[in-house]
Amino acid sequence: MIIPFTYAFVSVLVVSMISLIGILVLSLREIFLRKYIFIFISLAVGALLGDAFVHLIPEALESDFHPVLISVLIIAGILIFFILEKFLHWHHHGQDLRQAHINPVGPLVLFSDAVHNLIDGIVIGASFMVSIPLGIATTVAVMFHEIPQEIGDFTVLLHSGYTKKRALWLNFLSALSALVGVVIAFILGESSQGFTLFILPIAAGGFIYIAVADLIPELHKTKEITYSLFQIIAVALGVLAMVALIFIE
């Protein structure tokens, strides 16, 4: 048990380092980043919706859970994130002026990303309990899956008002929740799969909420036809990236 746990722990640590891919975004000039950040937000919309509808929901539907239960859990996920954002707005209005520039969508993205990474950690841990080769294969699949999502998360954090360094650090901390997922997987053993399948539709609901309720309204603030076309293309590319990952996985 120690060897599979060690493999799983190291693998998740490597996956968590992908959150630092935001350094690539940091290399872009400030003027360029501010001018074209709407493209990255559009990519994030596509990645979130693609992840929810192409990966998380179909995987949940393949389980023994009744489709109605899965639908209810998706709605529950949407409501949970709605309530969470309400709380963040209340907290936001109670803050002093020095912190009032942070948009509540930032903490919301961090929370949803932490939940998603927790699931990844459980999946990786459960895979290594079956066999080392399966665990490695699962880790590689998760890594490909994380790259577009982490870039999208990082740019949304920047758009929410976080400084570059703080956004990078917080994104990395949320990624470390995958380590907790590994521990949960080895504690729960075979029952960890059932726990994961229960969380999947809730996470999907959270992703749908963030994309539809928070990010798409931001894109509507741009009225120019050219920018709107770029937004549509970027959203489509975000979805297609998630579809392409099916063939890699």
- Position 79 scores a pLDDT of 93
Report the pLDDT averaged over residues 65-88: 88
- Taking the C-alpha atoms of residue 211 and residue 238, their distance in angstroms, rounded to an integer, is 12
- Position 96 scores a pLDDT of 45
- pTM for the model stands at 0.67
Lookup result for tokens 């950690």: 121
What b-and-e string marks burial along 150-172, b requiring 16 or more CB atoms within 10 Å of the CB?
A: bbbbbbbbbbbebebeebbebbb
- Taking the C-alpha atoms of residue 38 and residue 15, their distance in angstroms, rounded to an integer, is 27
- Radius of gyration for the alpha carbons in the chain, expressed in angstroms and rounded: 18
Amino acid at 247: F
- Taking the C-alpha atoms of residue 18 and residue 150, their distance in angstroms, rounded to an integer, is 7
For 190-241, the pLDDT digits (tens) are 676 677 778 778 888 888 988 898 789 888 887 789 889 999 999 999 889 8
How far from chain centre, in Å, is Cα 163? 20
Q: What is the extent of the structural domain holding 239?
A: 2-248
- Taking the C-alpha atoms of residue 11 and residue 245, their distance in angstroms, rounded to an integer, is 19
Q: What is the DSSP letter of 131?
A: -
- Position 249 scores a pLDDT of 57
The CA angle 113-205-86, to the nearest 5 degrees, is 80
Tokens of 69: 């239960």
* Confidence band of 112 (pLDDT split at 50, 70, 90): confident
The tally of CA atoms less than 13 A away on the side-chain side of residue 229 is 3
* Confidence band of 30 (pLDDT split at 50, 70, 90): low
Q: How many CB atoms lie within 10 A of CB 17?
A: 13
* Confidence band of 24 (pLDDT split at 50, 70, 90): low
Taken in order 203, 208, 213, 214, the sign of the CA dihedral is positive
pLDDT at 130 over 70: no
pLDDT at 140 over 60: yes
Q: Is 193 exposed, middle or buried (0-12, 13-18, 19+ CB in 10 A)?
A: middle
Residue closest to 182 by CA, chosen among 127, 109, 113, 136? 127
Residue closest to 44 by CA, chosen among 231, 225, 200? 231
- Position 236 scores a pLDDT of 94
Number of domains in the chain: 1
